Chain A
Amino acid sequence: MLSCEEVARLVSESLDRHLSLSERTKMKIHHLVCSTCKKHQKQILFLQKALQRFCSDDSGVEFSEADLKLSEEGKLRIKEALNNDS
């Protein structure tokens, strides 16, 4: 039987390549008997989702309108920097 470490590696690789039937079977069998690895897999899949959200615009995070806008001071500062640079 595979070790937890080997299974964790397969869990990660399943996100980047197609696992063989034998690899998938070994992973599943391990997950049946090892709740820690099963939990680890869930966490890694959650992490993957979180990272995808992190990079998309609709991360679902509630921001207030003001949170999502440049402040007036910020705008001034940026304009100044642009003018100095051009």
Chain B
Amino acid sequence: MCEAEHFIANQRAGGQMGSVIPTGNGAVEQETERQNATAEGMDPELWVEEYGDDLFRYAIRRVSNRTEAEDLVQETLIAALKAQEKFRSQSTPKTWLIGILKHKVMDYYRKKGRELNVQDVEEVCQVSDKLFDRKGMFRSPGNDWGENPEALFERKEFWGVLGECISNLPERLLPVFQLRMLQDRNTDDVCEELGITSNNMWVMLHRARLRLKTCLDAKWFSREEGGKTC
């Protein structure tokens, strides 16, 4: 049951992700941007006026409250200030800044995961043990999530709970999870970047999904449905 523990432990920790400043390539947003905008040499105060709300809008959808979102915007702009020369004009300043912000959001979850999960190492294996019995059968049918759970996408509280569940993922699962599920990178990229085999990646993604499902089930659906099972 716990074979995953070994290779999860052996994977290279994904510490490299937070420090990367992307050069950006988002031509898509170009037309909505001022064509000749440049971040370089721009007064940082103007950055706040010009891009602050865009960055904030991105952040607030991914973290649980305004203060944390504002902190992320601040960290992003400070990082941008320090890395101005890395800005390439083929990307718009906004795209470039959002790229940095994405990394900051990942760092945020990594940090959260670390704070919450110091004692969590052995628990990596226990998700399966909790969900399945010795024969590999589901121990419980779990809560019914309803016919149309997608309706929840309209509810801000739901995203808060999902964010909370993500921040509860054990640190070991986070690098794979972030690259594959939050950044939507292809599987070959993920394996290459983290130096893991496909099989390791599948197991880690599987465990992350099981955990998120279990977490949502407990924190949202048991609350909503009054813990009913079918």
Show the binding face of A for B, using Cβ within 8 Å: 3-6, 8-9, 12-13, 15-17, 35-37, 39-40, 42-44, 46-55, 57, 59-63, 67-71, 74-75, 77-79, 81-83, 85-86
List the A side residues contacting B70 at CB < 8 Å.
70-71, 74, 77-78
User: Taking A12-B209, A62-B154 as contacts, is the C-beta distance between A82 and B48 under 8 angstroms?
Assistant: yes
Cross-chain contact A60 with B154 (CB below 8 angstroms): yes
Cross-chain contact A75 with B52 (CB below 8 angstroms): yes
List the B side residues contacting A69 at CB < 8 Å.
53, 56-57
B73 adjacent to chain A (CB < 8 Å): yes
Cross-chain contact B44 with A70 (CB below 8 angstroms): no
Cross-chain contact B48 with A55 (CB below 8 angstroms): no
At the interface, is chain A mostly helix, strand, loop or mixed? helix
Cross-chain contact A61 with B154 (CB below 8 angstroms): yes
Q: Which residue of B lies closest to A51 (CB)?
A: B181
- Cα separation A8 to B78 with both chains bound (whole Å): 43
User: Taking A17-B187, A62-B154 as contacts, is the C-beta distance between A5 and B132 under 8 angstroms?
Assistant: yes
- Cα separation A17 to B187 with both chains bound (whole Å): 8
Cross-chain contact A50 with B153 (CB below 8 angstroms): yes
Cross-chain contact A81 with B74 (CB below 8 angstroms): yes
Cross-chain contact B62 with A54 (CB below 8 angstroms): yes
Q: Which residue of A lies closest to B149 (CB)?
A: A46
Distance (whole angstroms) from the CB of B52 to the closest CB of chain A: 5
Cross-chain contact A12 with B144 (CB below 8 angstroms): no
List the A side residues contacting B163 at CB < 8 Å.
54
Cross-chain contact A42 with B145 (CB below 8 angstroms): yes
Please tell me which stretch of B32-40, B117-125, B134-142 contacts chain A, meaning at least 4 of its Cβ atoms lie within 8 angstroms of it: B134-142
Q: Which residue of A lies closest to B182 (CB)?
A: A55
Cross-chain contact A55 with B184 (CB below 8 angstroms): yes
List the A side residues contacting B78 at CB < 8 Å.
81-82, 85
List the A side residues contacting B136 at CB < 8 Å.
3-6
- Cα separation A3 to B1 with both chains bound (whole Å): 13
Please tell me which stretch of B15-23, B85-93, B198-206 contacts chain A, meaning at least 4 of its Cβ atoms lie within 8 angstroms of it: B198-206
19 A-B residue pairs with CB within 8 Å: A8-B210, A9-B206, A13-B206, A44-B213, A49-B150, A51-B162, A54-B62, A54-B182, A55-B62, A57-B58, A59-B153, A63-B156, A71-B70, A74-B52, A75-B49, A78-B48, A78-B70, A83-B44, A83-B45
- Cα separation A71 to B70 with both chains bound (whole Å): 9
Q: Which residue of A lies closest to B199 (CB)?
A: A13
- Cα separation A43 to B215 with both chains bound (whole Å): 12
User: Taking A36-B141, A55-B184, A70-B53 as contacts, is the C-beta distance between A43 and B213 under 8 angstroms?
Assistant: yes
Question: Given A51-B182, A77-B74, 8 other A-B contacts at CB below 8 A?
Answer: A12-B209, A12-B210, A16-B202, A17-B187, A55-B182, A75-B49, A82-B74, A83-B44
